[in-house]
Amino acid sequence: MTLSFGIDRLLAEPDLRKPLEGRRVALLAHPASVTADLTHSLDALVAAGVNVTAVFGPQHGVRGDLQDNMMESPDFTDPTYGMPVFSLYGEVRRPTGQSMHMFDVMLVDLQDLGCRIYTYVTTLLYMLEAAAQHGKAVWVLDRPNPAGRPVEGTRLRAGWESFVGAGPMMMRHGLTMGEMGHWFIRHFGLNVEYRVIEMAGWEPDAAPGFGWPPERLWINPSPNAANVNMARAYAGTVMVEGATLSEGRGTTRPLELFGAPDIDARAVIAEMHRLAPEWLGGCKLRDIWFQPTFHKHVGALNSGVHIHAEGPWYDPAAFRPWRVQALGFKAIRSLYPDYPIWRGTDFKYEYTDDVLAIDVINGSPLLREWVDDAGAKPGDLDALAVPDEAGWREEIAELLLY
């Protein structure tokens, strides 16, 4: 079967577009919202005769022009079509009532990374909630989860909800955006007209892509999501945003590595293998040197660990990025007991106050407490995560479309 993403099917099959006739259509998109021939979805929909009346952009903007994290985007008028472009990562995170009156059907065409932290899933939830309130329809034009079906981590705990944690989901959730929409509607009891334009031919367990089909080019959905290796590692490396270590922002391989000027990466890798070799399957760790051009440790020479979930080492069933990164923190804590790993409460992560960024990212203090407890063993973290992972797999089983 020929592989088609949701946008490709919507354009190729007139019967799918028929319900849009006579209705005002909005598009929620970013730079990776492209067709198989790399036409942006907005241009393709307009060319197909769809009455697009508004565009919405998530974090980093429709154009993906904002490099750093937590940089807000303004509203503007599209210079080609003259239609309004509303930012959902600027003055507001949730669509305003004014913007919701600009359309009847919202098409969501966002490439996701399969991780709770990646804010596009939260934006989807906020759009579904607004659509339920205003009587609008939401269609997700489905795209692959590049991290595939594996599930890992702990659930977000009650009270830890944020823009990087939309609900009691797993860190690595294993769902596509279309499937996640179904979970949101069920979990939050939303009454909304919802439809998924499913992919055709996506096989999430098929080699060599295991989630990302190799016949499709990778387009950065956000500036630091530069390749599939990053997408696979992200459910672990994103935690470094809550640490004083560099996650590689300001280099050409952000969120595939971690390091600092005052650690010995070779010693850290050796300690990771000593502490929990069973957590390091399906990838290769390589010690590297890097010098960020901006962000943490800018201009300094860093000793780092590059996580390669690619090539002959990659095994999606064995690779567990959340545990790999947790183990990296644990190894640093073991080698350097007094090392200030965590960013303090003065660093406001995604508009939170008086909480540690690492806890916001993990949706609880559990991982940080495990790292900082000198007596805690790998099995203790497994004891927290394994029941959550099993429960989530059971919970989502009937939602899987592929």
Q: Same domain for 253 and 111?
A: no
Domain containing 344 equals 228-392
Predicted local confidence at residue 67, as pLDDT: 46
The larger pLDDT score, comparing residue 341 to residue 64, is at 341
Tokens coding 346: 């003065």
Over residues 170-185, the mean pLDDT reads 98
Q: Same domain for 108 and 29?
A: yes
Q: Same domain for 190 and 262?
A: no
How many other C-beta atoms can be found within 10 angstroms of the C-beta atom of residue 208? 10
Does pLDDT of 346 surpass 90? Answer: no
State the DSSP string of 80-122.
Answer: TT--EEEESSSS-SS--HHHHTT-SEEEEE----SBTTSTHHH
How is residue 297 annotated by DSSP?
T
Do 361 and 355 form a contact (C-beta atoms < 8 A)?
Answer: no
Q: How far is CA 246 from the centre of its chain?
A: 19
φ and ψ at residue 328, rounded to 5 degrees? -60, -45
Predicted local confidence at residue 79, as pLDDT: 84
397 lies in some domain: no
Over residues 69-93, the mean pLDDT reads 79
Does pLDDT of 267 surpass 80? Answer: yes
- From the list 139, 86, 141, the residue with the least C-alpha distance to 109 is 141
Q: Same domain for 250 and 145?
A: no
Helix (H, G, I), strand (E, B) or coil at 390: helix
Over residues 335-355, the mean pLDDT reads 88
399 lies in some domain: no
Predicted local confidence at residue 73, as pLDDT: 63
Tokens coding 52: 């697009």
Does pLDDT of 89 surpass 90? Answer: no
Over residues 44-60, the mean pLDDT reads 93
Predicted local confidence at residue 63, as pLDDT: 63
Q: Model confidence at 70, in pLDDT bands (50, 70, 90)?
A: very low
Predicted local confidence at residue 387, as pLDDT: 98
Q: Kindly list the distances between the CA atom of residue 22 and the CA atoms of 44, 84, 194, 290, in Å, as whole numbers in the listed order.
A: 18, 19, 18, 55
299 lies in some domain: yes
Predicted local confidence at residue 154, as pLDDT: 98
Element (H, E) at 153: strand 152-155
Q: From the DSSP assignment, how many helices (H) and strands (E) are in the chain?
A: 12, 12
User: For residue 340, what is the domain's CATH number?
Assistant: 3.90.1150.140
Q: Same domain for 177 and 52?
A: yes
State the DSSP string of 264-308.
Answer: -HHHHHHHHHHH-GGG-TTSEEEEEEE--SSSTTTTS-EEEEEEE
Q: How far apart are CA 254 and CA 227, in angstroms?
A: 10
Q: Same domain for 189 and 292?
A: no
Does pLDDT of 66 surpass 60? Answer: no
Do 116 and 173 form a contact (C-beta atoms < 8 A)?
Answer: yes
Do 350 and 163 form a contact (C-beta atoms < 8 A)?
Answer: yes
Number of domains in the chain: 2
State the DSSP string of 21-60.
Answer: TTS-EEEEE-TT-B-TT--BHHHHHHHTT--EEEEEE-TT
Over residues 216-224, the mean pLDDT reads 94
Q: Same domain for 204 and 320?
A: no
Over residues 193-203, the mean pLDDT reads 97
**Any idea which residue has 């190894």 for tokens?**
331
Predicted local confidence at residue 59, as pLDDT: 82
Over residues 153-165, the mean pLDDT reads 96
Q: How far is CA 178 from the centre of its chain?
A: 14
Q: Same domain for 43 and 68?
A: yes
Tokens coding 135: 């009587």
Q: Same domain for 273 and 162?
A: no
Query: Which among 222, 241, 271 is the end of a domain?
Result: 222
49 lies in some domain: yes
Predicted local confidence at residue 244, as pLDDT: 98
The larger pLDDT score, comparing residue 261 to residue 354, is at 261
- Summarised one tens digit per residue, pLDDT across range 163-174 is 999 999 999 999
For residue 149, which amino acid is it?
Answer: R
How many other C-beta atoms can be found within 10 angstroms of the C-beta atom of residue 266? 11
The larger pLDDT score, comparing residue 74 to residue 290, is at 290
Q: Model confidence at 69, in pLDDT bands (50, 70, 90)?
A: very low
Q: What is the pTM of this model?
A: 0.95
Length of the chain (residues): 402
Q: What is the mean pLDDT of the chain?
A: 94
Q: Same domain for 356 and 251?
A: yes
